[in-house]
Amino acid sequence: MITMKLHNSSIKNYIVYSLLFLPLFTLTAQNNISAGADERTPSKAQYFSWINNTNEGATAEHTKINLEFFGWLKKEYGMQLDIYALDAGAIDGKNFYGSIYSDRFKKQFPDGFDPIYAQAKNLDIRLGVWGGPDGFGDTPEEEKARIDQMVKLCRDYDFALFKFDAVCGPLRPEKEDAFITMMEEAREHSPDLILLNHRLGLDKAKPYATTFLWGGNETYIDVHMANTMTAPHHRAQAMSRGLVPDLQRLTEDHGVCISSCLDYWEDDLILQSFNRSLILSPEIYGNPWLLNDDEFSKLAHIYNLHKKYRDILVDGKVLSESYGPNAVSRGNGKTQILSLRNLNWEKATYSIKLNEEIGLNTDGDITLIQLHPTEKLIGTFSKGESIPVDVLPFRSGLFLATTEKYEAPLIAGANFQTIKNVSDAPTEMEVLGMPGTTANIQLLNGKQYTSAEINGKSVQQLLKGKKLKLKFPGKELKQNFHRKLNPFTEIAIPEDVETLYEATVFAADNNALEVRSLLRSGETNIPEVKAARDAFFDQEAFVNRGVWDKNLFDGNLETGFWPQKKYRLDTRIEGGTLRLDLGEITYLDKLVITVPNEFALQPLLVGEGNFVEISTDLVHWEELTYLAAKQSEVNVGKKVRYLRFKTFPQQIVEIEGWAKGQKLDRSLWKASNLFAYPSTKKAQKVWKSKIVLDEITEGSYLSVALNGQHGIEGAYAAAKMGNKYIGSPDRASSYPANNWEFMTSRRDKNYTYYIPLDESMIGKEIEVFVMGYDNENLNFDPELWITAYPNPWEKLKITLNKK
């Protein structure tokens, strides 16, 4: 108890003061008690498990492995996750309310939440859970049981977040009082408990929700969010998301999905973390372990950077249109962080005025630093100066303007990227330069280091503030690696138009989007990453959906690959065709196709003759006949690489090849089953562009942008170099997939096809073709660009050893 001795006048003044400001005190108390946070509460970094699991729900073992991945990120890079939220199916699920005492829950979490709570707590991570707003039953006993269960999660497991979604069911009006009781009692144990309001339609319980759902957009790329414009990558639509009303931070934007179409994920996350900077930021979901090994340091760096500045990111200022679309400056007047973006094909240059216009309200010299997509010291300037900065095409830019001392190690004279900067390990940075160029660099803020190395060679002069000249390997580029190429012109429909189409659909696939991400990123050397990947792809729900063509070549008759009809939506294009690519020209005596039963053989019938076409070059095709059976044998007896079946079994579990009595190696084999048979694709109009490239950087590809309306699957692109046909293995929006969670987006305009390039194409004439198939949608305008991902920097590694 606090006692106060006040004079009469003081008492009188105190009473008047209290009466005047009682509503304010009451509102503040209400906010803290009922909402768990207010607009100035610093952000919390979150991961949630949707798309890692779907409505079947997570398991204890799977969650343990995922937490070990985040534990590795913390140990290796100092990345701190604040909340790990279990999504749908852990307790509640779609259209049902569950219980932590049910057999279903005990099967998924045999020891309850205790083990993962202990593991998470050891990592300074708190748990959260997805659920529905009701579940209070129809009797007082059922109501109490629901309240007690949710309160227990906070009392015994320190839960930090409830995500309540109307997908599970609405909150009955007569149960709002029970809901309020539940939230009040839960917040007695977790006062900062965040309640995400996903379409709940709350009435008097509304003050107990922390957030509202902004726009209702889930961000699963090319499933729930896909490009509406042409772009050199799949995430342009996600990057074009605007600003929440009045920059309200108690808003849920569903975070950034890292599971499909991974390129440029970092630009998407920069905008979520620093531009909107909501109560949950940075916020990701899905399968971040599908990034490649070189990208985890960038993921950690974004989280670490946000954590460093999150206390001043609560105050935002919308900048004028001269800073580009939806530009925001956040800070405390002494340090401001500007998040900019460019949603055009050409580089954008913006002018940053170093004064109150961006929120700087203190005097003194101002240091301007680029923080993303690379780090770069731009310079130190006087207040009021206008400094031009560039933002690359379809990328975001992050800039820091400060009158305060910048503590992190800083390199002057070149672009660089911080790889690791943790207290108990050497600091690692990469100096970046274009091939064949030079840079004179200087290390700032380097007094805490005892030695410095570049690519393992000692460079002690860096620690003395001296400049060091660096030469980056490679040949200097004559042209910008990102540029527009020769225009398209309409031509007569070529005789090989079918081959061009086949080149692209054989280059592409119909695997789940996550499989495409895995193949994009390649093998990992990190045990925790491999374990998380394996846990995802080996889970029963993923395997049983038959969404990966490798299941046809694994020797396991319990797995397969078949067109998905999960939501009663047929994703096949014009009925689809089974295509098989052996990866190289191969002598084949026979092909054996196995189905689990006669029903799975449909629409084929046992004993009926069916047809397959075979080819070695996609130009010349030969038709063969085979009889349908549970094990259909296609007698080939010659060399072959490509096979296509106009009609094929609906559920195939294995495809084998035999030659000279031996089963063939199938490691290069791939299959697709959704693309249309060529006879249903009659080209109505064809465009062509001819190019010769004198230089091709690593990671380069052609972007074939189809600006305008072309119809759903109404236009395709491919290339030809001499007699070699080059397909487009990727497209935004994505090719149809046998999806893990839901079907790919169906877009009827602004496709962009991506055709990879390599050094073998230098100096050779390449013809790029666009084929329009929809007679009612032929007025689109194709353009051709060359670009690269990631940017083709040469990298020199700096290691700074600490005292």
> What tens digit of pLDDT does each residue of 516-565 get?
999 999 999 999 999 999 999 999 999 999 999 999 999 999 999 998 76
pLDDT at position 780 over 50: yes
Q: What is the CATH number of domain 483-510+682-788?
A: 2.60.120
For position 6, what pLDDT does the model report? 31
Peptide bond into 733 cis (omega under 30): yes
How would residue 147 be classed by pLDDT, with cut points 50, 70 and 90? very high
How would residue 570 be classed by pLDDT, with cut points 50, 70 and 90? confident
CA 434 to chain CA mean position, Å: 27
Q: What is the residue whose two structure tokens read 């008492």?
A: 11
pLDDT at position 23 over 50: no
Q: What is the mean pLDDT of residues 754-761?
A: 97
How would residue 568 be classed by pLDDT, with cut points 50, 70 and 90? low
Q: Which tens digits make up the pLDDT trace of 417-451?
A: 999 999 889 999 999 999 999 999 999 988 889 99
Percentage of the chain lying above the pLDDT 90 cut: 88
pLDDT at position 11 over 70: no
For position 566, what pLDDT does the model report? 64
Q: Which tens digits make up the pLDDT trace of 311-341?
A: 999 999 999 999 999 999 999 999 999 999 9
Cβ-based neighbour number of residue 407 at 10 Å: 9
Residues forming a β-bridge with 191: none
pLDDT at position 678 over 80: yes
Q: Which tens digits make up the pLDDT trace of 86-142?
A: 999 999 998 899 999 999 999 999 999 999 999 999 999 999 999 999 999 999 999
Cβ neighbours of residue 340 closer than 8 Å, sequence gap 6 or more: 323, 324, 327, 350, 389, 391, 396, 397, 398, 399
For position 519, what pLDDT does the model report? 97
pLDDT at position 14 over 50: no
What gap in Å lies between CA 653 and CA 646, rounded to an integer? 18
pLDDT at position 19 over 60: no
Give CATH 2.60.120.260 domain extents, the chain: 548-674
Which architecture does CATH list for 313-475+793-802? Answer: Sandwich (2.60)
Residue 693 near residue 761 (C-beta atoms within 8 A): yes
pLDDT at position 9 over 50: no
pLDDT at position 722 over 70: yes
- Across all residues in the chain, what is the average pLDDT? 93
Q: What is the mean pLDDT of residues 667-672?
A: 97
The CATH class for the domain spanning 548-674 reads mainly beta
How would residue 567 be classed by pLDDT, with cut points 50, 70 and 90? low
One-letter amino acid for residue 776 of the chain: E
One-letter amino acid for residue 108 of the chain: Q
Tokens coding 152:
């227990």
For position 18, what pLDDT does the model report? 35
One-letter amino acid for residue 251 of the chain: T
Q: What is the mean pLDDT of residues 752-774?
A: 98
Q: What is the mean pLDDT of residues 246-265?
A: 96
- What does the chain come to in residues? 803
Instruction: State the pTM of this model.
Output: 0.93
For position 321, what pLDDT does the model report? 96
CA distances from 483 to 50, 346, 635 (A): 38, 8, 50
Give CATH 2.60.40.1180 domain extents, the chain: 313-475+793-802
What's the fold here for domain 42-308?
Answer: TIM Barrel (3.20.20)
pLDDT at position 143 over 60: yes
Q: Which tens digits make up the pLDDT trace of 593-615?
A: 999 998 889 888 787 899 999 99
